[in-house]
């Protein structure tokens, strides 16, 4: 009897731990690709993935672009079909099943415009992975679209004007911010995507306040455009 009770208590503990962690984040449903299968698929191939929303851009005209992740990697879902009410449910941690087609543009692997989704049970919020040491290496792309961090980056002049940043368009009212940072003598292009973090957000204002020569710690999603072009969500001046 004591052995039976011990086994029963152990089973209850396992069940409780699974419930607290949001279930088995590793398991994929029937017909669902692993992250490796998704990445290896050919351009325009049909894809079915399960992943967890980490953030998304502004909803507009029945579409919303989503940054998502599972334990094996990141996903960028471009212009996912959604009503405004549906998009409001895509809060960080939400598990979704996405059906669409694989696309690739300037090295960025993504789910093409027009994919559909359904919300599933489960929750997972990724911690930013420090990839500073991978800058300039072939291994960096393995973390494409994941939430990542870069530590101890030096702010460089963006162009001949000596400014630390530039707007995508001259008016600077409703557009992306571009800036350059360096590490170990190599310079990289980073971005604040306006539809992810607009002009009233802390990170947008922080980049507008950067000074050449400052040292910063950064977080964001490792978007790719002819090389690493992270969409930055956090800037902290550390020196």
Cα(149)–Cα(133) distance, integer angstroms: 10
φ and ψ at 158, to 5 degrees?
Answer: -75, -35
Specify the pLDDT at position 172: 59
Specify the pLDDT at position 169: 79
Q: Could you count the other beta carbons within 10 Å of the beta carbon of residue 51?
A: 27
Specify the pLDDT at position 29: 81
Q: Minimal CA–CA distance to 74: which of 124, 137, 135?
A: 124
Instruction: Identify the structural domains of the chain with CATH numbers, from first to last.
Output: 25-123 (2.40.50.140), 129-237 (2.40.50.140)
Specify the pLDDT at position 25: 54
Q: For the segment 140-153, what is each residue's pLDDT rounded down to a tens digit?
A: 999 999 999 999 99
User: Which of the residue ranges 9-23, 50-64, 172-186, 214-228 would you say has the lowest mean pLDDT?
Assistant: 9-23
**pTM of whole model > 0.75?**
yes
Q: Which helix (H) or strand (E) holds 123?
A: strand 116-123
Specify the pLDDT at position 28: 84
> In this model, does residue 80 exceed pLDDT 60?
yes
Residue 187 structure tokens:
């310079």
Q: For the segment 120-132, what is each residue's pLDDT rounded down to a tens digit?
A: 999 999 999 999 9
Cα(4)–Cα(52) distance, integer angstroms: 38
φ and ψ at 45, to 5 degrees?
Answer: -70, 145
């Amino acid at each position: 009897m004591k052995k039976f009770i011990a086994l029963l208590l152990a089973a209850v503990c396992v069940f409780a731990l699974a419930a607290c962690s949001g279930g088995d984040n590793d398991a994929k449903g029937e017909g669902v690709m692993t992250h490796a299968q998704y990445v290896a698929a050919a351009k325009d191939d049909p894809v079915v993935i399960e992943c967890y929303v980490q953030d998304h851009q502004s909803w507009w005209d029945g579409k919303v672009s989503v940054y998502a992740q599972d334990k094996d990697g990141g996903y960028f879902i471009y212009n996912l079909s959604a009503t405004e009410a549906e998009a409001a449910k895509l809060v960080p941690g939400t598990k979704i099943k996405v059906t669409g087609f694989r696309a690739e543009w300037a090295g960025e692997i993504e789910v093409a415009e027009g994919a559909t989704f359904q919300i599933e049970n489960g929750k997972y919020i990724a911690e930013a992975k420090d990839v500073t040491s991978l800058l300039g290496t072939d291994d960096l792309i393995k973390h494409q679209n994941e939430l990542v961090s870069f530590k101890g980056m030096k702010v460089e002049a963006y162009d001949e004007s000596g400014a630390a940043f530039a707007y995508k368009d001259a008016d600077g009212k409703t557009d992306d911010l571009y800036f350059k940072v360096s590490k170990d003598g190599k310079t990289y292009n980073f971005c604040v995507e306006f539809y992810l973090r607009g002009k009233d957000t802390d990170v947008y204002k922080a980049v507008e306040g950067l000074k050449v020569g400052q040292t910063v710690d950064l977080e964001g999603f490792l978007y790719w455009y002819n090389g690493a072009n992270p969409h930055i969500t956090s800037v902290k001046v550390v020196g």
